[in-house]
Amino acid sequence: MAKVLVTGGTGFIGSHTVVELQNVGFEVIIVDNLSNSNIDVLNGIEKITGIRPAFENIDCVDYVSMDRMFDKYNDIDAIIHFAAFKAVGESVEKPLLYYRNNLISLVNLLQLMPIHKVKNIVFSSSCTVYGQPDILPVTEEAPIKIALSPYGNTKQIGEEIIRDTIHSNPCYQSIILRYFNPIGAHASAEIGELPNGVPNNLLPFVTQTAIGLRKQLQVFGNDYNTPDGSCIRDYIHVVDLAKAHVIAVQRMLNEKTTSRVETFNLGTGVGLSVLEIIENFEKVTGVKVPYRIVDRREGDIEKVWADPTYANDVLGWSANETVEETLRSAWAWELNLAQRAQAE
């Protein structure tokens, strides 16, 4: 059974990817320092698949511990590297925290791979690398612009580190996946997005407001050059995103890649505004979301959505979930969290 190391595997996208990997027979090892996730996620994964993944509480920045981990699991076939800090606003306040964590963790992995004969790595990147694209929908050929935040810069630099490393050493193979906006939760409502503290991202703030944990949602600006004035994003179901990672690992293991670094946009190809998300959520759930328009948030781009043609054609992957189903799954997860809190 092929073995996949998933760093950040107790996180939002990581945990959903672990489930999809196990569903098709991969053996999974999770490395996570639980800095932005909870060990209980392992229970959720096990409830869904019946398999509790191996778990190592390690910080990927800790080279010696990571080296020992590779010795322990000495036949890893591929790595999916999620472990990174990802809050745009926090990265502006604490840039060195982001550069150290997000870049040293990647450099450690790339240094350890040839030592431990691991060839394949999937890198978690982001549409943030495009900044505000000049042309929409955005393709993989779009120019990489000056990052608007240290977070976005760590993704750009991370991609460059991978490309330079692989150019220097043919032993590696990498697939870079540029996510648009992941939202939603597994249909079981056993795992989902669980940000620590006040959510940075839109959807958890919407669902926490709908359930009454937050008084009111703040919409960051309605004076953008968009139909309703609020920002537009490409919201993709996290399970669709997870499935793309399985395909990427299989593609490398089956040696189907056409170059040693391949890069794909993972989005639906549809842009929705903040106000449209609120409207769709209220329609799907029947629950009002109190909100008010406030000033723009620093670092926000106006509008971005993917051209997913390349991933559709080359990976044979596409985002299948409707926005209604995606929003419904996010709400079901929030309701499950509330039930658990009441039971405690």
Q: Which is nearer to ligand WQD, 34 or 253 (CB)?
A: 34
Residue 151 among the catalytic residues: yes
Q: Phi, psi (5° rounding) for residue 255?
A: 55, 45
Residue 211 CB, nearest approach to ligand WQD (Å): 15
Selected range binding ligand WQD among 21-29, 135-143, 197-205, 329-337, rule: CB under 6 A? 197-205
- Interface residue with ligand WQD among 219, 252, 315, 327 (CB under 6 A) is 219
> For residue 41, which amino acid is it?
V
Q: Residue 136: exposed, middle, or buried by beta-carbon count in 10 A (0-12, 13-18, 19+)?
A: middle
Binding mask 80-99 for ligand WQD (x = CB under 6 A): ------x-x-----------
Which of 65, 139, 218, 257 contacts ligand WQD by CB under 6 A? 218
Closest to 275 in 3D by CA, of 309, 318, 230: 230
User: What gap in Å lies between CA 146 and CA 131, rounded to an integer?
Assistant: 7
Residue 333 contacts residue 185 (beta carbons within 8 Å): yes
Counting contacts by CB under 6 A, is residue 318 touching ligand WQD?
Answer: no
Q: Select 26 or 179, whichever has its Cβ closest to ligand WQD.
A: 179
Q: Determine, following the binding rule CB under 6 A, whether residue 201 of this chain makes contact with ligand WQD.
A: yes
Verify binding: residue 200, ligand WQD, rule CB under 6 A: yes
The residue annotated as part of the active site, out of 151, 172, 224, 235, is 151
Measured from the CB atom, the residue of 53 and 221 that comes closer to ligand WQD is 221
Select the residue interacting with ligand WQD from 81, 119, 186, 233 (CB under 6 A).
233
Tokens representing 16? 């959903």
H or E segment and range at residue 232: strand 232-233
CA distance 245 to 80: 8
Site string for ligand WQD, 251-290 (x = CB under 6 A): -----------------------x----------------
- Nearest C-alpha neighbor of 100 from the set 117, 113, 114, 83: 83
Smallest gap from Cβ 167 to ligand WQD, in A, equals: 26
DSSP string, 15-39: HHHHHHHHHTT-EEEEE---SSS-T
Site string for ligand WQD, 173-192 (x = CB under 6 A): ------x-xx----------
Q: By CB under 6 A, is residue 222 in contact with ligand WQD? A: no
Residue 196 buriedness (CB in 10 A; 0-12 / 13-18 / 19+): exposed
Residue closer to ligand WQD by CB (options 113, 162) is 162
Stretch that binds ligand WQD, among 62-70, 95-103, 194-202, 308-316 (CB under 6 A): 194-202
Which residue, 302, 336, 316, is CA-closest to 247?
316
Backbone angles phi, psi at 309, to 5 degrees: -55, -45
Question: Applying CB under 6 A, what is the total number of residues that bind ligand WQD?
Answer: 20
Give the angle subtended at the CA of 239 by the CAs of 237 and 245, to the nearest 5°.
Answer: 115
Name the residue among 36, 13, 48, 279 with its Cα closest to residue 123. 13
Q: Is 287 helix (H, G, I), strand (E, B) or coil?
A: coil
Residue nearest to ligand WQD (CB): 231
Query: Which residue of 17, 49, 120, 126 would you call a contact of ligand WQD, by CB under 6 A?
Result: 126
Residues in the site for ligand WQD, rule: CB under 6 A? 86, 88, 126, 128, 179, 181-182, 200-202, 205, 217-220, 231, 233, 274, 297, 300
Positions marked catalytic = 151
